[in-house]
Amino acid sequence: MTTAETSDLLNLRSVVLSNLQHQHYWTDIKLLDTQVDIDENTQNDPLPRPMIYGRPPEQLYNPEPASSTNEASSSEKPPADKEYVLPVHLTEKLTLRTWASVFDNLPTPSGAAEGGEGGGDAKKKRIVVAVVSGDSTVVYYIMHDGIVKPRQN
C-alpha cells in the first residue's frame, strides 16, 4: 500500500471517528493500526486497513445474547460489548479476499473454541462496517464472518 493510499484511509478513519464520538456517543475508543494494537503477542505487521475499536452506548444486536441471565439478577445494564469498526469509502470496491484478511486479523471472540471454525455454535467474528459517502454521511452495517442467522427471524 502506498503512503498516499494509507493517508487516505487514515483521513477516512478520522471522519468515522468524529462521527462515532459526536453523533453516536461511542466511548473507550482506540485506534488500531497494526496487529499489536489488537493482540500484543503477535508481530508488528500493519493491519490490512486501519480500524477503530470502541464501545457503543447501547449493546448492538447480538445473535447469542450473553446478558440474558444477568438481566434477571441485576437491574443495572451491563456495559455494551466493544466493537471493531472498519471505515470504508462508498466509492471503494473491495473483494472477498480483502474482507477475509480483515477478519483473519481479528482475535477470536471470547467464548469461542480455539480454531472452532467448523463448530456451528462457536461465536462468530464480526465487525461494524462504516461506509462514508462524499458528503461525510456515515452508515453502519454489521458484518459477520460465517453464517449468522438474521436478528429478526
Partner 1 sequence: MCGTLFGTLPQAQQQNIFLGLPLELMREEARLLVDQRELQWGKKNIILDWIAGSNRSLKGVATIVEDSLAHRDAVKALSETDKADILSLKIQEQDKLMLANREESIKRKEAAIENAKASGKWKTKPARASESSIDKSKETPLFESTLDAIVDGVGGEGGREELASTAQRTSADDGSQRQYVIPMASSAIGLHSLRLPREAENIPSPPDARYQVYKYLQSLGYFMSPGLRFGCQFVAYPGDPLRFHSHFLVKSLQWDEELSMLDLVGGGRLGTGVKKAWMMAGLEQRDIEADRPESHGVRTFCVEWAGFG
Kindly state whether residue 22 participates in binding partner 1, applying the rule CB under 8 A. Answer: no
Task: Please identify which residue in 44, 75, 96, 114 interacts with partner 1, judged by CB under 8 A.
Answer: 96
C-alpha cell at 143: 458484518
Nearest to 57 by CA among 85, 29, 79: 79
Contacts of 153 by beta carbon, 8 Å cutoff, 6+ apart: none
List beta partners, residue 6.
none
| Residue placing its CB nearer to partner 1 in the complex, 73 or 99 | 99
Binding pattern for the stretch 34-73 against partner 1, x by CB under 8 A and - elsewhere? ----------------------x---xx------------
Q: Does 23 participate in binding partner 1 (rule CB under 8 A)?
A: yes
State which residue, 82 or 144, has the beta carbon closest to partner 1: 144
Determine the Cα–Cα distance for residues 88 and 128; give it in Å rounded to an integer.
10
Shortest Cβ 40–partner 1 spacing (Å)? 20
Q: Strand 126-132 vs strand 83-89: parallel, antiparallel, or unpaired?
A: parallel
Check binding of 144 to partner 1 (CB under 8 A): yes
DSSP SS3 for 130? strand
Name which of residues 2 to 21 contact partner 1 (CB under 8 A): 19
Contact present, 26 and 32 (Cβ < 8 Å): no
Cβ atoms of residues 36 and 43 within 8 Å: yes
- Judged by CB under 8 A, does residue 80 bind partner 1? no
Name the site residues for partner 1 (rule: CB under 8 A): 19, 23-24, 56, 60-61, 88-97, 99-100, 103, 117, 128-131, 138-153
